[in-house]
Amino acid sequence: MIVCVCKSVSDRTIRASIAEGMDSFDELQFELGVATCCGKCEESVRDVMAQSGVCATRCGVAHAHAVAVPAVQPLTFYERKAA
Ligand code: FES
Protein backbone atom coordinates (compact mmCIF):
# COMPACT_ATOMS: atom_id res chain seq x y z
CA MET A 1 0.00 0.00 0.00
CA ILE A 2 1.29 3.45 -0.84
CA VAL A 3 1.80 5.44 2.34
CA CYS A 4 3.31 8.58 0.86
CA VAL A 5 1.55 9.53 -2.34
CA CYS A 6 3.77 12.52 -3.04
CA LYS A 7 6.96 10.44 -3.03
CA SER A 8 5.40 7.08 -4.01
CA VAL A 9 6.69 5.28 -0.93
CA SER A 10 4.95 2.10 0.15
CA ASP A 11 4.67 0.52 3.58
CA ARG A 12 6.87 -2.31 2.26
CA THR A 13 9.61 0.18 1.43
CA ILE A 14 9.33 1.71 4.89
CA ARG A 15 9.44 -1.71 6.55
CA ALA A 16 12.46 -2.71 4.44
CA SER A 17 14.23 0.50 5.43
CA ILE A 18 13.48 -0.17 9.09
CA ALA A 19 14.83 -3.72 8.68
CA GLU A 20 18.01 -2.20 7.24
CA GLY A 21 18.48 -0.15 10.38
CA MET A 22 16.60 3.10 10.01
CA ASP A 23 15.06 3.60 13.40
CA SER A 24 13.81 7.14 13.48
CA PHE A 25 11.24 9.18 11.64
CA ASP A 26 13.91 11.71 10.70
CA GLU A 27 16.00 9.03 8.98
CA LEU A 28 13.02 7.73 7.02
CA GLN A 29 12.13 11.26 6.08
CA PHE A 30 15.66 12.02 4.92
CA GLU A 31 16.28 8.78 3.06
CA LEU A 32 12.85 8.14 1.55
CA GLY A 33 11.45 11.64 1.36
CA VAL A 34 8.27 10.75 3.24
CA ALA A 35 6.39 13.68 4.73
CA THR A 36 8.58 16.20 2.91
CA CYS A 37 6.02 17.44 0.44
CA CYS A 38 2.44 17.89 1.71
CA GLY A 39 3.15 16.14 5.02
CA LYS A 40 -0.18 14.34 5.17
CA CYS A 41 1.50 10.93 5.40
CA GLU A 42 3.42 11.60 8.62
CA GLU A 43 0.90 9.89 10.87
CA SER A 44 0.71 6.86 8.57
CA VAL A 45 4.51 6.59 8.47
CA ARG A 46 4.58 6.72 12.27
CA ASP A 47 1.90 4.00 12.36
CA VAL A 48 4.02 1.75 10.12
CA MET A 49 6.99 2.43 12.38
CA ALA A 50 4.98 1.46 15.45
CA GLN A 51 3.71 -1.70 13.75
CA SER A 52 7.33 -2.57 12.97
CA GLY A 53 8.32 -2.22 16.60
CA VAL A 54 10.17 1.03 16.18
CA CYS A 55 9.39 3.93 18.39
CA ALA A 56 7.25 6.28 16.35
CA THR A 57 7.97 9.25 18.52
CA ARG A 58 11.00 11.37 17.95
CA CYS A 59 13.17 9.54 20.50
CA GLY A 60 14.47 6.93 18.02
CA VAL A 61 14.43 4.16 20.64
CA ALA A 62 14.07 0.78 18.93
CA HIS A 63 11.15 -0.53 20.93
CA ALA A 64 7.44 0.05 20.90
CA HIS A 65 6.07 1.80 23.93
CA ALA A 66 3.00 3.68 24.80
CA VAL A 67 3.44 7.40 24.85
CA ALA A 68 2.13 8.80 28.07
CA VAL A 69 0.22 11.94 27.41
CA PRO A 70 0.23 14.17 30.44
CA ALA A 71 -3.08 15.43 31.66
CA VAL A 72 -3.80 18.88 30.37
CA GLN A 73 -3.70 21.41 33.14
CA PRO A 74 -5.88 24.45 32.66
CA LEU A 75 -3.96 27.66 32.33
CA THR A 76 -4.70 30.36 34.79
CA PHE A 77 -4.16 33.95 33.86
CA TYR A 78 -3.95 36.65 36.43
CA GLU A 79 -4.83 40.16 35.56
CA ARG A 80 -2.81 43.00 36.90
CA LYS A 81 -5.00 45.53 38.51
CA ALA A 82 -4.39 49.13 37.64
CA ALA A 83 -2.93 51.13 40.46
S1 FES B 1 1.78 12.14 1.02
FE2 FES B 1 3.74 12.11 1.88
S3 FES B 1 4.47 14.12 1.62
FE4 FES B 1 2.54 14.14 0.67
Residue of 38, 45, 47, 48 best suited for mutating to test ligand 1, as the one with most atoms within 8 Å of CB: 38
Give Dmax over CA atoms of the chain in angstroms: 67
- Split into its structural domains, the chain has a count of 1
CB atoms within 10 A of CB 46: 19
Domain CATH number, residue 17: 1.10.10.1100
**32 within a domain of the structure (yes/no):** yes
Structure-model confidence comparison of residues 34 and 70, the more confident one: 34
- The Å distance, Cα 6 to ligand 1 centre, comes to 4
Show the DSSP H helices in 36-79 as ranges: 42-51
Residue type, 65: H
Q: Of how many residues is the chain composed?
A: 83
**11 within a domain of the structure (yes/no):** yes
pLDDT tens digit sequence for 3-48: 999 999 999 999 999 999 998 899 999 999 999 999 999 999 999 9
**Alpha carbon nearest to ligand 1 atom 2, residue:** 4
Q: At what angle do helices 11-19 and 42-51 cross, to 10 degrees?
A: 50
Helix (H, G, I), strand (E, B) or coil at 32: helix
Residue of 8, 11, 30, 34 best suited for mutating to test ligand 1, as the one with most atoms within 8 Å of CB: 34
- pTM, full prediction: 0.68
Q: Are 36 and 29 in contact (CB under 8 A)?
A: yes
